[in-house]
Amino acid sequence: MKHILILIFSLFSLSVFEGKAAFAEPETNLSPELVEFGRQFSGWTSQFGLSHYGSALQASGGGVMFEYIPEGQTFDNWMGMSTITLFTPESADPRIVKSYADSFRSGSGQYAPRILEQANWVIRKKTMYYTEYLIGEGAEQEHNVSIVTTANNGNIIVFQVQGRKGTLSDAMITKFKEIMPKELANF
């Protein structure tokens, strides 16, 4: 009986380890350097319960995207997610950032968002474009908050927190508005 319990415990430990290993190395199509770069955002995302770095991808428009989800969720069944996308503009011209923010806010076709709130803030001389919106329909509808701004190196950064089925609470949105502008002002 003792040997059976040890075997069961060992198999359970192995399955737990294997489950966590999937998040140790994100699904990716990026270089190892960019994957490692994406790890730096976990301090931001964990404040919203989105602690597992799950993927690092080449985004449309030439950007790179890093995604985080809660423990116990997958990219097939996620209820909460944070997405950080970086774009390298030709210059740090604020008009480029505003143009991108406007395109992000308007969407197109089936991805056109239903805007709930928009705001523009200037923090430490950085203009930040905040948007809260709904996108999609039915069970797949997402509730999103995002900030688009310029990083200190001139990149455009988009920080989003998304939720499905009511998981993006008023408290989380308030926390996002209080924390992320200050964090992004330093980035």
CATH of 28-185, one of 2.50.20, 3.10.450, 3.40.1000, 1.10.3470: 3.40.1000
Select the more confidently predicted residue: 100 or 129: 129
Model pTM?
0.78
* Amino acid sitting at position 68: Y
Q: Which of 73-77, 123-127, 171-175 comes out lowest in average pLDDT?
A: 73-77
Q: Where are the domains of the chain?
A: 28-185
Query: Is 20 a residue whose pLDDT tops 70?
Result: no
Q: Could you tell me what percent of the chain has a pLDDT over 90?
A: 37
Burial of 125 (0-12, 13-18, 19+ CB in 10 A): exposed
16 band by pLDDT with thresholds 50, 70 and 90:
very low
Residue ranges of alpha helices (H) inside 65-159 are 94-106
Tens-digit pLDDT profile for residues 25-35: 566 667 788 88
